[in-house]
Structure 1
Amino acid sequence: MLRWLMALALWVPGTALAQGVAPIVPVAGEPSGAACRQVGDMPFVTFAPDSLQRLGEIGLGRTEIFQLMRETSIPETGGCWAEPAGNFDSQLISVGMSQWNYGTGSLQPVLKAWKKALRGRFGRTRKSLAPVYGKLLFSRDCLARPVRDKCRAGILAAHGTDGRLNAALFGELTAIFESDAMIQIQADTYVALLEELRLDLLRVFKGQPITMRKVRWAMDTKIQQGFFPADEDLARLRGKLAKMPEAERWQRLRAIFDWYRASASTIDQDGVGRDWAWNAAAWNCMIDKGRIDPEAYEMLHLTYIRSRTAIGNSGRWQALTFERRAKIILGVGSVSGKVDGNCG
């Protein structure tokens, strides 16, 4: 299974950046086996009709939901439903298409939901899919939020000297998260996030059309930082933008790109080394060629005020958070060395 050196885009409340730690970033070289079960529309997955009705208000149906899940999974798991990662980012275990983890407490509810869904089949299924570590993973100590010391010690003992999961735990987590029942739980959890996102979108962009660009941007923000600018901050920013002389319009945006470039080139920003120079040149070129529309202009400013408050590892990922969302907004960008679009 493909492992990624740095996350590219989208993904639940309480994940790493929202809690002030590093983002969920799989490490190359974790134990890996045959091709993983890929995220996509699974016919057995169902969605509650009332959820679909509410999400339809922001243009999301079954096709769009699976499309967003796929987009979320690409940077987090290389498109896999499982792809577990170890404690390299102090999250103990991260697993699933949105990389739920013990460290921030986002994994425990997913495991509990799977246990509940299996009902009388749980014990038998757990022993079949996770004969070595299943008892530990579903122990009271590991389902507690935060996990207790006994759980932490057991999980860390299942890591190699390189800090990666051993093959047995990697395989058992993969088996659980690629199972039909857990895929349904992952889909349910993701739809619950989308329902929260709907309310966020209607607040942040009150009175504006909700475009797919806004949905994708909001999903990335929600997954990686957990929340959006407060109403007070939105009002302040929009008030300043409304009063800004036209002659300053592009100078102000270039200043944001300069902030990104300067931050990305410092010694303690990670995940952007292959990207920042290309991005800075391409995005300034887009200004020169008049390719940034009003919606993108405002969203870039919203991205700036949120990215500068990414506090994980004392701000280590601020440039990365900006470039991920700028790429979503502009449709042009390089993230983890993957280039999409161009200035031309």
Structure 2
Amino acid sequence: MRKWLIGAALLLVPGAALAQAPSRAPCREVSETPLIRVDPESAARLAEIGLDRARIFALMRETSIPETMGCWAMPVGNFDSQLISVGMSQWNYGTGSLQPVLKAWVHGFGSRRKFKRELKRIAPAFGKLLFSKDCLAIPVKDKCRQGVLAAHGADGKLNPTILAELTAIFESDAMLQVQANAYVALLEEVRRDLLRVFKGQPITWRKVRWAVDTKIQQGFFPGDEDLARLRRKLAAMPDAQRWARLRAIFDWYRASSSTIDQDGVQRDYDWNWRAWNCMIDAGRIDSEAYEMLHLTYIRSRTAIGNSGRWQALTFERRAKIILGVGSVSGKIDGSC
């Protein structure tokens, strides 16, 4: 499962936008935007792990691709029982991740009067519901749930009016700043995680990208005890077993992907399994990637969202980052 932070850790469902939106309508795309401010103190800390402004926005863009096809908004409805998911990281009502984002946008106006004026301008039909006490509660109240469900069409998708209003809110300049603030807060947490998980090791760009994806999907990393146990086993492993052990992880991924209740991987897993095994045969997996694949395995096998429905997808996304080769959501990068 995905996770995001604005003050508290909050779970989301991976690839929500992709599940409802096979093709992307024109949108305001996630990219380096001059109007967005990055807090100087945060920027200084992130520079310690090699993240300047350009790389922060590159990571933001990379995150948005599987979540919203690169858009700042892309609202979707209740297909995953989360009522509404919206924003470049698909925050949602169901898990309580959307409410802090909406509250942050409200607070940015400085006065209730300015907020109400803007809401009336861009969300006259559903703004009052979306920002009601019932909808800002965690969990949402029944009156909110019923109101949101009533805003769905017969096809189970959001009706065009609420879709347009949510898009207008999340594509607004002020909401772009709110989303960027949330992402920078995430990166600050990722920095602390990286320094713990890879203590004493160089923090490479590959590790940063891997850690961001892990944080978004699952929220946290293996604990110190699990890290120590895994590294003891890897250190003691005979060289003759080295590649067989990694192939076993790839086999786990392929077998999981083949089962009836794994989603998001059907177009990808067979290609990935063949390409990644080919990389072993070609000697193209270095020691850093080898350890990171094992770290990904022990975290992906504990992905619990929808009773483990996304375990194979969590592994697939991060393995592609680690190896630079892979297919995710039917998009192939690299080759053996």
> Which TM-score applies when normalising by structure 2?
0.95
Q: Secondary structure at the match of 1:216?
A: helix
Are residues 1:92 and 2:107 paired?
A: no
Distance 2:239 2:109 in 1: 60
Number of residues of Structure 1 aligned to a counterpart in Structure 2: 332
Deviation at 1:26, TM superposition (A): 1.7
- In the alignment, what sits opposite 1:325? 318
Aligned runs of 1:101-120 on 2, under 5 Å?
Answer: 101-120=92-111
Distance 1:119 1:191 in 2: 22
User: What fraction of aligned residue pairs are identical, expressed as a percent?
Assistant: 73
Q: Say whether the 8 Å CA contact 2:262–2:309 is kept in structure 1.
A: yes
Are residues 1:154 and 2:147 paired?
A: yes
Distance 1:222 1:260 in 2: 20
Distance 1:28 1:46 in 2: 32
Distance 1:114 1:142 in 2: 15
Query: In the alignment, which of 301, 305, 318 is matched to residue 298 of structure 2?
Result: 305
Distance 1:313 1:156 in 2: 21
Q: Secondary structure at the match of 2:327?
A: strand
Q: Secondary structure at the match of 1:339?
A: strand
1:278-322 deviations in whole A, cap 9, x for unaligned?
111100000000000000000000000001001122111111111
Paired letter, 1:83: M
Q: Say whether the 8 Å CA contact 2:206–2:322 is kept in structure 1.
A: yes
Runs of at least 5 residues in structure 2 that lack an aligned partner in the other structure = none
Q: Say whether the 8 Å CA contact 2:3–2:10 is kept in structure 1.
A: no
- In the alignment, what sits opposite 1:217? 210
Q: Say whether the 8 Å CA contact 1:260–1:322 is kept in structure 2.
A: yes
Distance 1:57 1:298 in 2: 23
1:25-48 deviations in whole A, cap 9, x for unaligned?
225666999621111111111111
Instruction: Output the aligned Cα RMSD.
Output: 2.0
Distance 2:97 2:188 in 1: 17
- In the alignment, what sits opposite 2:55? 64
Distance 1:300 1:30 in 2: 30
Large movers: runs of 4+ above 4 Å: 27-34
- In the alignment, what sits opposite 1:52? 43
Query: In the alignment, which of 31, 34, 50 is matched to residue 40 of structure 1?
Result: 31
Are residues 1:182 and 2:144 paired?
A: no
1:66-114 deviations in whole A, cap 9, x for unaligned?
1011001111111111010111111111111111111111111111011
> Which TM-score applies when normalising by structure 1?
0.93
Paired letter, 1:23: P
Distance 1:263 1:110 in 2: 34
- In the alignment, what sits opposite 1:207? 200
Mark the CA change 1:227 to 1:33 in structure 2 (over 3 Å): closer, same or farther: closer
Are residues 1:340 and 2:333 paired?
A: yes
- In the alignment, what sits opposite 1:4? none
Q: Secondary structure at the match of 2:102?
A: helix
Distance 1:31 1:316 in 2: 20
Query: In the alignment, which of 79, 82, 85 is matched to residue 70 of structure 2?
Result: 79
1:248-268 deviations in whole A, cap 9, x for unaligned?
110100010011111111122
Paired letter, 2:88: M
Deviation at 1:161, TM superposition (A): 2.0
